[in-house]
Homo-oligomer: A and B are copies of this chain.
């Protein structure tokens, strides 16, 4: 009933090819997109005005949300290459040389240093500030910003297809685990893959896998299902990030590459200054989820 886990193929492919989150098919989708941008723009405006400081899940439905990672300009090449070598956890959507350097396909009139509800400021690999505005440390090109796709882009699609993720039903954060799978390294960036987990009945796994595979810009399909020990995870009830979720008898845990992976790489790299979004407090794009779906 349960197909073989894709883990071996995933491990073999690590670092073998360079790619972003976007496929050749995306160009057409982007140029034909005539999305209503006002919902997304309103969320960003509220953040900028200080009127929104909480998580973004469920806001501006249909619009893609993105992880933000900013590294010193001197390390921008190594981090760009880290993302290209590890496209499953780090699906690149955009690179911003300054806070306002974004193509209109991603978001118009945006300021990445002010338009997220909450930021983490990192110094020497440690989070030293948790703030609602990052413009005190990022105004010009001292940092380079990277936007990475997020699984929010397909969680609604899973629910719509009859496979609602349990943590969404429970209203909790998704369970995340540090694995024993080494990322492809680039300069000071390395570390281990972080995965998110959603439990499903074995017979649901093929459909759930196929649906999420269609979103390579949002981590794509699962990297593993079945025995957590294959990823070096000892205890599913004790996630490294987020909240534990019940795995019912007969269900299997299904694991996806997770956007927290680069934050684990940042901790290891211990650079003088980095900025990221605070977990769950994402950048809301004009770009729509549908444009990220590969058909």
B residues within 8 A CB of A15? 103
Find out whether the CB atom of B18 lies under 8 angstroms from the CB atom of A94: yes
CB of A224 to closest CB in B, whole Å: 15
CA distance A249 to B93 in the complex (A): 45
1/0 per residue A21-33: CB within 8 Å of B?
A: 0111111101100
A99 at interface, CB cutoff 8 A: no
A9 at the interface (CB under 8 A from B): yes
Name the residue on B nearest A216 (C-beta). B24
Contact A18 B81 (CB under 8 A): no
Quick check: is A92 within 8 A (CB to CB) of the other chain?
A: yes
Number of interface residues of A (CB under 8 A): 37
Chain B CB within 8 A of A294 CB: yes
Q: A54 at the A/B interface (Cβ < 8 Å)?
A: no
Does A19 make an interface contact (CB < 8 A)?
Answer: yes
- Taking the closest CB of chain B, its distance from the CB of A8, in whole angstroms, is 9
Chain B residues positioned under 8 Å from A73 (CB to CB): 77
User: Is there contact, CB below 8 Å, between B23 and A9?
Assistant: no
For the complex, what is the distance from the CA of A48 to the CA of B61, rounded to whole Å? 56
Is A220 part of the binding interface, using a Cβ–Cβ cutoff of 8 Å?
yes
Judge if A64 is at the interface, Cβ distance under 8 Å.
Answer: no
Decide: B103 and A17 in contact? CB cutoff 8 A: yes
Q: A55 in the interface, Cβ–Cβ < 8 Å?
A: no
Give the docked Cα–Cα distance between A214 and B174 (Å).
37
Give 1 or 0 for each of A5-48: 1 = CB within 8 Å of chain B CB. Answer: 00001001101111110111111101100000000000000000
Tell me which residues across on chain B come within 8 A of A84, comparing CB atoms.
20, 80, 92, 95
A23 contacts B20, CB within 8 Å? Answer: no
**Residue A180 at the B interface, CB < 8 A?**
no
Q: A76-B77, A80-B81 given as contacts; is B26 within 8 A of A19 (CB)? A: yes
> Quick one: which of B17, B30, B93 contacts A27, CB cutoff 8 A?
B17
* A272 on the B face (CB < 8 A): no
Q: Which residues of B contact A22 (CB under 8 A)?
A: 17-19
CB pair A18–B93 under 8 Å, yes or no, is yes
Q: Is the Cβ of A12 less than 8 Å from the Cβ of B31?
A: yes
For A94, what are the chain B residues with a Cβ–Cβ distance below 8 Å? Answer: 18
Once bound together, how far apart are the Cα atoms of A19 and B20, in whole Å? 5
Which residues in A have some Cβ–Cβ distance to B below 8 Å?
9, 12-13, 15-20, 22-28, 30-31, 73, 76-77, 80-81, 84, 87, 92-95, 97, 103-105, 144, 216, 220, 294
